[in-house]
Amino acid sequence: MLTIGKLGAAAGVKVPTIRYYEQIGLLPEADRSAGNQRLYGQATLDRLAFIRHARDLGFRLEAIRDLLSLSDSPDQSCAAADTIARAQLAEVESRILRLTALKAELERMVVQCSGGRIANCRVIEVLGDHSLCATDDHRHPETEATP
């Protein structure tokens, strides 16, 4: 049995994160020692490693919850897991496109900066007037106006 600190070290996850995953139901509630210390077994370590790997790949917590639920029923079709992974791949591809556009715009701004005074600085000018950007593809989804 592992204490919460040892579990975190083994999985590469911080203790508050483990507590949070327990709180939201991604991890089962821990057994307790006589001294009320949390104790975890190999199954919890495996589940936590699964969650960490999924987070490293950018999966959102709800998708991870769904994947964990699927993994708890190993005899069913993997079509639902495939659908979740394909959606994540599409999200990553979309982010890559936005980041590529962002990189191009930043490169364009830097190249156009003459190194003179702020009054004539292309970087400041473009940041102050989005219409001077080459494209809108680099806008971050959280900053876009909702319809």
CATH number for the domain harbouring residue 66 = 1.10.1660.10
Q: What is the C-alpha separation between 6 and 18, in angstroms, rounded?
A: 11
Amino acid 136: pLDDT: 67
Residues 86, 112 within the same domain: yes
Range of the domain at 105: 79-143
Percentage of the chain beyond pLDDT 90 is 61
DSSP 8-state assignment for residue 32:
E
- Domain end point (choices 71, 103, 119): 71
Amino acid 139: pLDDT: 60
- Domain end point (choices 43, 71, 99): 71
| Residue 146 scores a pLDDT above 50 | no
- Domain end point (choices 45, 71, 97): 71
Mean pLDDT, the chain, rounded, equals 88
pLDDT tens for 47-83 read 999 999 999 999 999 999 999 999 988 898 999 999 9
Residues 48, 66 within the same domain: yes
Domain total in the chain: 2
What are the CB-based long-range contacts (under 8 Å, 24+) for 75-80?
none
Three-state secondary structure call for residue 19: helix
| Residue 26 scores a pLDDT above 80 | yes
